[in-house]
Amino acid sequence: MEFQEVVRRRRMVRRYDPDRPVPDEVLKACLDNAVRAPSAGFSQGWDFLVLRTEDERGRFWAATTEAGAEADPWLSGIQAAPVLILCLSDKDAYLDRYAQPDKGWTDRSESHWPVPYWDIDTGMAALLILLTAVDAGLGSLFFGVPAERHAAVHDALGIPAGRSVVGVVSLGYAVPGPKSPSLRRHRRTGAEVTHWGRFGQQ
């Protein structure tokens, strides 16, 4: 598929066929492409926790949802995804990297970082997973974990305290379903969001 077609076809898919597994070669391509994302100082402060079995995914969903609560259509659709990839960032990898002699800082202070590049870079890696899925004919979704559920997810899946769950990518073959109401919103064009030379000049 041509790159422009991949970009145009990228959608957040919320309904999956639970009986069609993700081919191993596609999953491998997604993860191989993820590590091609840029990272500040080539810190590569990311990890990807892949959940493929019913038991693995069940532990994630148990940690992120209310026990005994009935799943709404949105959640039911995502829970059918045969693969979940938790995208984890490692802040310490960046603080350590930029305390090395070639970077010029002599400490690991977070004050050097006006924005958390460990999370930004992990998000860019997640986007490469999403695009690779489209190129392979699969559907995918990037979604977050509620703030109050992060500790439970760490405990349920053995995630080290130094890793942050930036988001989760669900993968699988899409099935038709209702479109998100959010799609009624106008997609801002390149011209609308681009400023030339000074903010406000379009």
Residues ≥6 apart with Cβ < 8 Å to 150: 164, 165
Q: Residue 201 domain-assigned?
A: no
Q: Could you count the other beta carbons within 10 Å of the beta carbon of residue 91?
A: 19
pLDDT score of 151: 97
Decide if 159 contacts 48 (C-beta within 8 A).
Answer: no
Decide if 172 contacts 20 (C-beta within 8 A).
Answer: yes
Decide if 89 contacts 118 (C-beta within 8 A).
Answer: yes
Q: Residue 74 domain-assigned?
A: yes
Q: Residue 177 domain-assigned?
A: yes
State how far the Cα of 90 lies from the Cα of 94, in Å rounded to an integer.
Answer: 7
State how far the Cα of 64 lies from the Cα of 139, in Å rounded to an integer.
Answer: 22
Q: Residue 199 domain-assigned?
A: no
pTM flag (> 0.85): yes
pLDDT score of 55: 97
Single-letter residue type at 71: A
pLDDT score of 106: 84
Which residue has tokens 């979604």? 143
State how far the Cα of 80 lies from the Cα of 16, in Å rounded to an integer.
Answer: 6
Q: Residue 132 domain-assigned?
A: yes
Three-point CA angle 72, 58, 20, nearest 5°: 80
Q: Could you count the other beta carbons within 10 Å of the beta carbon of residue 59?
A: 18
Decide if 74 contacts 163 (C-beta within 8 A).
Answer: no
Q: Residue 47 domain-assigned?
A: yes
Domain that holds residue 51: 3-193
Q: Residue 106 domain-assigned?
A: yes
Q: How many CA atoms lie within 13 A of 41 on its CB side?
A: 20
State how far the Cα of 134 lies from the Cα of 55, in Å rounded to an integer.
Answer: 26
State how far the Cα of 76 lies from the Cα of 8, in Å rounded to an integer.
Answer: 26
pLDDT score of 141: 95
Backbone angles phi, psi at 166, to 5 degrees: -75, -35
Residue 139 maps to which CATH number? 3.40.109.10
Domain count, the chain: 1
Token pair for 44: 């590569």
Q: Residue 202 domain-assigned?
A: no
pLDDT score of 82: 97
Helices (H), 81-182: 91-97, 117-135, 150-157
**What is the residue-level pLDDT of the chain in tens, covering all 202 positions?**
898 887 888 888 889 999 999 999 999 999 999 999 999 999 999 999 999 999 999 999 999 998 877 878 888 889 999 999 999 999 999 999 999 999 888 899 998 999 999 999 999 999 999 999 999 999 999 999 999 999 999 999 999 999 999 999 999 999 987 676 766 778 888 888 999 999 989 8
